[in-house]
Chains A and B, each alone.
Chain A
Amino acid sequence: MKRTILFIVFFAILGVSLAGLYWSQRRAKSPPVSSNAILNMAADAQRDLTRVPMHFTRLSDEQEIVIGRELSERYALQQRKLNPEEEALEKYVRRVGGTVAAHAHRHLAYFFYVLPDHNMINAFSLPGGPVYIGEGMLDQMEMEDELANILAHEVEHIDHYHCVERMQIEAQLKNANLELMGQLLRTPLEFWQAGYHKDEEFEADREGVRLAVESGYSPYGAVTLFTRLDKLCNEYVIHARSPEEELSELAIQSLTGYFRSHPLPSERLEQINRLIAQENWQERKTQKPFHVEYEVHNGQFVK
């Protein structure tokens, strides 16, 4: 009797497993092999472990603004001078950014910069207020609402302490003596360009869309932009076709991936669509076009 039951269970489990195997083999789109799951768990654990100390080592807004300003001045020295067209673009970005930043929870010194690099499809922020957006990212945009949503996302990274928490404990350990934090200010720009923890990215997405909507922009700006980025992501993700490709891909990801535990654009889209449905924003579909006007006299930007 026991043996019969064992046989039945064995074949049932074998059947379920083979069905799962068949189903996964029949999938047209195979997910890429990556160490994302492990990295996400490690990043989660690290974040969870540091949240308690973060509560007790908080910097004041004034200290944060000073750090951000000094970092920003330091990084400005590394950038080339903007051409008239880029200056006009930066002015446009500052106008849109200023509109959304006005609705942030914390009133910090928000300021917006364009990084003149067409290969940089990214935006990032520094503690206390500076927000940077790459020209490559601007190239991807067709609507002003898309720009507003991306800038609001970066503002929310600052607003919700994501930026400052990256250096907060170290700053406190140095006794918050801002003049003596030379080492801290030598942090490379790439450190801030890397993504945040998945939860923080989701929070910045969620709150960024709210901020954009409060500033009069459409939440669909985030949807159209993330749809475009999702397509880009699918084009760039390498789908390994052999164990060797898998291993080499994993090695590369493991070296660079720890801080790049961004959620996939598809996951971010799903959250934004859920938020739009939850807040009944479906009617706010109208978007303003991405439009920059400027005048140049004798090679100099005028207005």
Chain B
Amino acid sequence: MTWAIEEALRAPWIAVGWIVFAVALALTTRWIRYRHLAWQANVVALAAFIRTYTFNINLHEPFWPHVSLRLFTVGLVIAGAYVLAKIAADALEEFESVVRNAYTWAAALFVGLLIFAEAPHDWMSVFFIAAGIILALAGRRWNLPHLGFQEHFFAVAAIARTFDYNYHLTTYYGTFSVRILTVSIVAAGLYAISRRATDPDAPYALVSAYLHTTAATSLLAILMWYELSTGWLAAFWALFAFALAAIDRRFKLDDLRWQAHALAALTMLRSVTINMYVEETWHGLSVRLLSLSIVAVVFYAMSRLARMPDQWRARDFHHIYSWSASLIVSLLLWRELKPLSLAVGLAVFGLVLFEYGLLRRIAQFRYQSYVAFTAAFARIFFANLAAGEPGVFLSDRMITVAPLILIFFFVYAQLPASEENTSSDRRFHFDSFVAYLGTGALAALFYFQFPDEWVVTAYAALVFALFAAAWALRRPIFLHQGILLTLGTFARGMAHNLFGGSYLTGGNWSGRYFVVGSAAAILLSTLYFAFEIRGRYAPPANATRWKKITTALVARPEQLQFFVPVILVATMFALKMTAEWVTASWGLEGLCIVLLAYLAKEHSYRLTAYALFSLCTAKLFAMDFWRETFLERGIAFLVVGGVILAVAFLHIHFKDAFEYRR
């Protein structure tokens, strides 16, 4: 019969005749229950398949105007194969699965070959994915898992074809790019079928779904790479990642979540390595600015939106997004702003982050603000402090550094000890850190703003302000800073003003007496605040010895604030007075100290005065007595003698009026 069919029909129709004959044999088996006929049907079908593969698939003749003879005949063979998959398999119960698999795989193979041969080249991948979808849906409808497997092969074929061919298309379908249409359809097909291609109970169902959506996401991400200009890609990837994250949040699709994270990582990499260097413009606006702004906004949004495992979110891992966004904004500021403006830009950005973090109670935003503040502070040393015309008060330096100082102290003021919301900031000492940035910036500004010799006076004024702040605001940090800066003022006064002047020429008035004298006077005026806060920050009685030693200056600030100006002035007299006047000026200084000791009722001050008088007396007899002229000898003896008499008078007449603190 098979031979008769071959003889009777034209060559293109032989395979069709055989498959029809095989179907007839299989149907006959069902009616007469004679299983041998079923096996014969399988053999005839195999012959039909071989004939189709070797002959029909290569046909090029037309059949109807738009249908080729190949499409028609192979289509009929495929239909026959699916019919046989049902009836032949039913007839051979013990081999049902094998027979059904064999027929459907053969049919799928011919479908694939037919698409490869017949489909327009541009749309082949779409046909592949369409075939895959039909197979997957059919497999789920009739509970045939092997059809799902076949779908995987079609999906792979569609993806391979897209990579190999569709990305390189430049043609248009109407006004639409064929590349966009075809790749989007394939990606949409993959997304659509991802949850239906496999039986949900199958062990690899999740892997299959992940692979489908990952492939679809990759196709779309690569399509963007082809379609968009260099500058815009990162922005569109970011938006795509956001869309994935949003869908994941709505439908709880974990695979989309990880794809969103991966795409966001790629976006970050691209932003930093490529977008930062983009120079193109869009309607007069910088593409770098626009695209990276979009990326930053999307990343901030994703820090709230993106789903993560609970233990990750509990550890603030989702703030990788906000940190990345802040990094992008900071780098963008560096790119877009002028060198002089960057520090202000970073500080303003930090302020906005801080306020948002405070308002929304998000510690990570505040931490980012501290990093921005640190960067702004460091930046002033490279661009702002050395800027500005000499001698101009409202210079570039002043105008760009002053806002930073205001911002630092404003931020510090919002971190009070009682605030529950900011306890983590205080645990890491960010409050002290910001206060130090503020004072550091102010000290650096003074250092460059004032003439070199006046820096010591400016620092003394800053010490006064810090002590006043420590007293009025009851914040010990300002006391610490005041003490440190007092030591700095002392070092600067000694090294620069007293030992650092010119060896041969003047400058004594502006560089020494008045400047160092004014600095010493200002430091002495801080004694009022020092006495007011004396003991306020003393260590407890049971504190360790080491703790007591290290906090001694904080506990008794009036000692340092007294000894520093006294030593400065005494050294100034020793270095800059003419020989005969050194002892006399020390004596007068001692008298002033005695008066201060009476006023302050401070025993250590009085002892200092007495030590100075002893030094004067020793110097009188060891050195001054041997000077050449009477005038040289006389000045020292007269002044020191007068001073000691005055002190003795005071001591005798006002002894009972004063009680000394010890």
Seen from chain A, the residues whose Cβ lies within 8 Å of a Cβ on chain B are: 6, 9-10, 13-14, 16-18, 20-21, 23-25, 27, 30-38, 40-41, 44, 47-49, 51-52, 55, 105, 159-161, 199, 203, 207, 240, 242-243, 246, 250, 266-267, 270-271, 274
Q: Which residues of A contact B549 (CB under 8 A)?
A: none
Contact check, B399 vs A23: say whether CB atoms are below 8 A apart: yes
Segment at the A interface, from B31-39, B146-154, B342-350, B536-544: B342-350
Min CB distance B472 to A, Å, is 17
Instruction: Give residues of chain B (363-416) contacting chain A, Cβ–Cβ below 8 Å.
Output: 380-383, 385-391, 396, 399-400, 402-403, 406-407, 410, 414
Contact check, A20 vs B399: say whether CB atoms are below 8 A apart: yes
Residue of B nearest to A243 (CB): B334
Contact check, A48 vs B410: say whether CB atoms are below 8 A apart: no
Per a CB cutoff under 8 Å, which of A30, A36, A52, A203 touches B495?
A52
Contact check, B403 vs A13: say whether CB atoms are below 8 A apart: yes
Q: Which residues of A contact B396 (CB under 8 A)?
A: 24, 27, 31
Min CB distance A212 to B, Å, is 15
Chain B residues bordering chain A, tally (CB within 8 A): 48
Contact check, B338 vs A37: say whether CB atoms are below 8 A apart: no
Contact check, A24 vs B341: say whether CB atoms are below 8 A apart: yes
Q: At the interface, yes or no: B503 with Cβ under 8 Å from chain A?
A: yes
Residue of B nearest to A197 (CB): B500
Cα A40 to Cα B496 with chains together (Å): 14
Residue of B nearest to A20 (CB): B403
Known: A13-B410, A16-B403, A24-B396. A199 touches B500 (CB 8 A): yes
Q: At the interface, yes or no: B331 with Cβ under 8 Å from chain A?
A: yes
Min CB distance A284 to B, Å, is 20
Instruction: Give residues of chain B (309-353) contacting chain A, Cβ–Cβ below 8 Å.
Output: 331, 334-335, 337-341, 344-345, 347-348, 351
Cα A207 to Cα B502 with chains together (Å): 10
Residue of A nearest to B341 (CB): A24
Q: Which residues of B contact A105 (CB under 8 A)?
A: 504
Q: Which residues of A contact B61 (CB under 8 A)?
A: none
Per a CB cutoff under 8 Å, which of A16, A25, A37 touches B337?
A25
Q: Which residues of A contact B90 (CB under 8 A)?
A: none
Between A and B, how many residue pairs show CB distances below 8 Å?
124
Q: Which residues of B contact A31 (CB under 8 A)?
A: 339-340, 383, 386-388, 396
Min CB distance B487 to A, Å, is 14
Contact check, A10 vs B338: say whether CB atoms are below 8 A apart: no
For the complex of A and B, 8 pairs with smallest distance between CB atoms: A48-B495, A17-B403, A37-B385, A31-B387, A24-B341, A24-B340, A51-B499, A36-B386
- Interface of chain A, helix or strand or loop or mixed? helix
Contact check, A14 vs B348: say whether CB atoms are below 8 A apart: yes
Q: Which residues of B contact A161 (CB under 8 A)?
A: 503
Q: Which residues of B contact A35 (CB under 8 A)?
A: 381-382
Contact check, A51 vs B495: say whether CB atoms are below 8 A apart: yes
Cα A31 to Cα B340 with chains together (Å): 7
Known: A17-B348, A24-B399, A270-B391. A47 touches B500 (CB 8 A): yes
Per a CB cutoff under 8 Å, which of B331, B339, B344, B502 touches A32?
B339
Q: Which residues of B contact A246 (CB under 8 A)?
A: 339, 382
Contact check, A9 vs B339: say whether CB atoms are below 8 A apart: no
Known: A13-B407, A21-B345, A31-B340. A48 touches B386 (CB 8 A): no
Contact check, A203 vs B348: say whether CB atoms are below 8 A apart: no
Contact check, A37 vs B403: say whether CB atoms are below 8 A apart: no
Q: At the interface, yes or no: B54 with Cβ under 8 Å from chain A?
A: no
Q: At the interface, yes or no: B448 with Cβ under 8 Å from chain A?
A: yes
Known: A17-B348, A37-B385, A40-B386. A30 touches B407 (CB 8 A): no
Contact check, B382 vs A27: say whether CB atoms are below 8 A apart: no
Contact check, B385 vs A27: say whether CB atoms are below 8 A apart: no
Min CB distance A132 to B, Å, is 23
17 A–B contact pairs at CB < 8 A? A14-B348, A17-B407, A21-B337, A24-B338, A24-B399, A25-B337, A31-B383, A35-B381, A40-B386, A48-B492, A48-B495, A48-B500, A240-B339, A266-B389, A270-B389, A270-B390, A271-B390
Contact check, B391 vs A18: say whether CB atoms are below 8 A apart: no
Per a CB cutoff under 8 Å, which of B348, B380, B496, B503 touches A21?
B348
Q: At the interface, yes or no: B602 with Cβ under 8 Å from chain A?
A: no
Q: Which residues of A contact B391 (CB under 8 A)?
A: 270, 274
Q: At the interface, yes or no: B355 with Cβ under 8 Å from chain A?
A: yes
Residue of B nearest to A203 (CB): B502
Min CB distance A2 to B, Å, is 11
Per a CB cutoff under 8 Å, which of B335, B385, B399 touches A242?
B335
Contact check, B505 vs A207: say whether CB atoms are below 8 A apart: yes
Residue of A nearest to B403 (CB): A17
